[in-house]
Amino acid sequence: MVDEETQGLESIESWIPRTKIGKDVLEGKITSIDEIFERGEKIKEPEIVDKLLKLKTEIIWIGGSPGKGGGIKRTPTRRTARMHRSGRRYKISSLVVVGNEDGYVGVGRSVGTTHQIAIEKAIKKAKLNIIPVLRGCGSWRCRCNELHSIKRKTEGKAGSVRIVLMPAPRGSGLVCSEELKKLFMLAGIKDILTKSFGKTKTRFNHVLAAFDALKKLNASR
């Protein structure tokens, strides 16, 4: 019997495609993810992305509980409890970034009953959310024409957080929080400037807003 929660988490070796695109990818008729994006088709199986891109995964540390002697002890997942007739019920949330460090990145969020299930489900979602990143050298101070930054300024939103991403000259590095660095590194961006507004301490929305900004870059391709 397949557990509903772990369904779809089978390994790539045992993949039996359920969609036309999936079959084409497995049979080698589609060899590049750009072919799928160009057709404007939606990817419905994470294995498609695994076959076409060599992905790395980063977990965004969204959890935290007050530690001994003050401060916040960071954790990769966030646990929230709600009361139930039979006692406390816990829900584990996670946020994951996948990318090939060369122009493709995806973000996925999920909940599960355990830490591992929450993360695995988020990885699967991140793969389905993968997007091409419009990189370039958008900085007038640089003009090197290489893909080290983003092509132009872009903005994104998630919850109360708004973020502005700006092209930066070569050697500037990633001027942002540690969690956002994970997103940009996996996207293959080396130099960027960021400006955030709103409750930027909520890491969840901070990363989602930056991903939204990268998506919007594509809309004006």
Residues near Zn ion, by CB under 5 A: 137, 142, 144, 170
Closest-approach residue to Zn ion (CB): 137
Give the nearer residue to Zn ion in terms of CB position, either 73 or 141.
141
Q: C-beta of 134: minimal distance to Zn ion in Å?
A: 14
Give the nearer residue to Zn ion in terms of CB position, either 22 or 138.
138
Instruction: Report the DSSP pairing between strands 161-167 and 154-158.
Output: antiparallel
Give the nearer residue to Zn ion in terms of CB position, either 25 or 137.
137
Q: C-beta of 169: minimal distance to Zn ion in Å?
A: 6
* Spatial contact of 48 and 36, defined as CB atoms under 8 Å apart: yes
* Spatial contact of 180 and 174, defined as CB atoms under 8 Å apart: yes
Q: C-beta of 154: minimal distance to Zn ion in Å?
A: 17
Give the nearer residue to Zn ion in terms of CB position, either 129 or 139.
139
Give the nearer residue to Zn ion in terms of CB position, either 59 or 175.
175
Q: C-beta of 139: minimal distance to Zn ion in Å?
A: 6
Give the nearer residue to Zn ion in terms of CB position, either 143 or 199.
143
Q: C-beta of 175: minimal distance to Zn ion in Å?
A: 15
Q: C-beta of 174: minimal distance to Zn ion in Å?
A: 15
